[in-house]
Amino acid sequence: MNRPMIELRRVHRFFGDTRAVDDVSFEIPAGEVFGYIGPNGAGKTTSMRILATLDVPTYGDAFVDGFSVVNDPDRVRRRLGFMPDYYGTYANVNCTEYLDFFARAYGLIGRERAKSLKYVMDFTGLDGLAEKPIRGLSKGMKQRLCLGRAMIHDPSVLILDEPAAGLDPRARIELRRMIRSLASDGKAILISSHILTELDEMCDRVGILEQGTLLATGSVADMQDGMRATPQVGDPSMTEIHARVLNTGASLGHWLADRDGISHVVVDGEIVRFTYAGDRQAEAALLREMVLAEFPVVEFAARTKSLEDVFLHVTQGVVQ
């Protein structure tokens, strides 16, 4: 009952001498949004196509709701909704006709099909555009329509390849809300994107892929902590601290400069910025010492490393 909804087991996919996917394994449980990131040519789309039964692995296997994409592709397709990075639409049909076509293709009939159409139209916000021809839709509305197509048969797993590409900020926010809502309903969601700030806010865990190899998986917070625990030249693990003190910025700057583990002290009026090599407990102790030294601290915050920081830390920028 606790089996993962998406699972890759040592998946390899070779195209001649090119190892597009090279020994990739990970699991995604129900209700989780998993971000799949990597440079162009890293193997993200190939992995997703294998999960969607549009390609087969050279070695290894992948599973959707316990069914093998190699041995049980028909069962996989019933449980999976796939939204590719490029999708075709039909110019001479409206939104309702388009979704109804795919509902029929999945074998939905009668009240079941009508209920599914109504739910998807309401969920994606297309109910007010039901009779509008697809050629007249904006980019954002077409993305919603494609998401509706992927979920028309109520799959337990969704594979979304670059769903936010080309969307304006409002459309991206609305798409993010829809994806989180689908996850809260228990669906397992694998999503790739080049917009790392979107994945940072949306995903429970991420996997970083480069040259077909999975370099790291985990929550962004865990990866940030891992960066802090592994100092390297150029201080990627150092924490950037921002402090504001009333009328004593210069004095605090001199006080900090004499302390171990602190570097790059910059004073800008009441604001003092510096980098610190301590963990979070050490940050709390430093703040306490500042207060005991009678500095009137009104702000003290560590800059949290973003998913972009983690991505640059883990990858080397190599493509194949």
Q: Could you tell me the CATH number of the domain that includes residue 202?
A: 3.40.50.300
Residue-wise pLDDT tens digits, 254-308: 999 989 889 889 999 999 999 888 888 889 999 999 999 999 999 998 876 666 6
125 within 8 A of 174, measured Cβ to Cβ: yes
End-of-domain residue from the set 194, 218, 242 = 218
Do 13 and 41 touch, CB atoms closer than 8 A?
no
The SS3 of residue 174 is helix
pLDDT lower than 70: segments of the chain:
1-2, 87, 89, 224-238, 304-311, 313-320
Asked if 3 contacts 193 with a C-beta cutoff of 8 angstroms, the reply is no
In a shared domain, residues 122 and 175 = yes
2-20 in b/e burial notation, b at 16+ Cβ within 10 A?
A: eebbbbbeebebeeeeebb
Q: What is the pTM of this model?
A: 0.76
Nearest Cα to 147, choosing from 212, 83, 224? 83
| 65 and 165 share one domain | yes
Which of these three, 218, 253, 288, is where a domain ends? Answer: 218
Q: Say yes or no: 198 and 281 in one domain.
A: no
- Give the pLDDT confidence score for residue 68 in this predicted structure: 96
Tokens of 161: 């390849």
pLDDT at site 227: 55
Q: CA-CA distance, 317 to 314, in Å (whole number)?
A: 9
Indicate whether 208 and 254 sit together in one domain. no
Total number of domains in the chain: 2
CB-based contacts of 108-117 (< 8 A; 24+ apart in sequence) = 108/152, 108/153, 116/152, 116/153, 116/154, 117/152
Q: Is the domain of 91 the same as that of 209?
A: yes
Structural domain contains residue 137: yes
Dihedral sign, Cα of residue 54, residue 186, residue 102, residue 174: negative
Looking at the domain assignment, is residue 316 inside a domain? Answer: no
Q: pLDDT digits over 79-88, tens only?
A: 999 998 876 7
Same domain assignment for residues 205 and 299: no
pLDDT at 135 (0 to 100): 85
Domain end point (choices 218, 253, 279): 218
* Residue 32 and residue 144 in one domain: yes
Domain with 94, as residue range(s), is 6-218
79 within domain boundaries: yes
Tell me what pLDDT residue 121 has: 94
318 within a domain of the structure (yes/no) = no
Q: Do 23 and 149 fall into the same domain?
A: yes
Residue 231: the pLDDT is 44
Does residue 272 sit in the same domain as residue 205?
no
From the list 127, 176, 186, the residue with the least C-alpha distance to 155 is 186
Instruction: Supply the pLDDT for residue 228.
Output: 52
Could you tell me the CATH number of the domain that includes residue 275? 3.30.70.920
Whether residue 174 is found in the same domain as residue 121: yes
Same domain for 209 and 245, yes or no, is no
Kindly state whether residue 313 falls inside one of the protein's structural domains: no
- Residue 211 within any structural domain of the chain: yes
Calculate Rg over the CA atoms of the chain: 24
Q: Is residue 145 domain-shared with residue 276, that is, in the same domain?
A: no
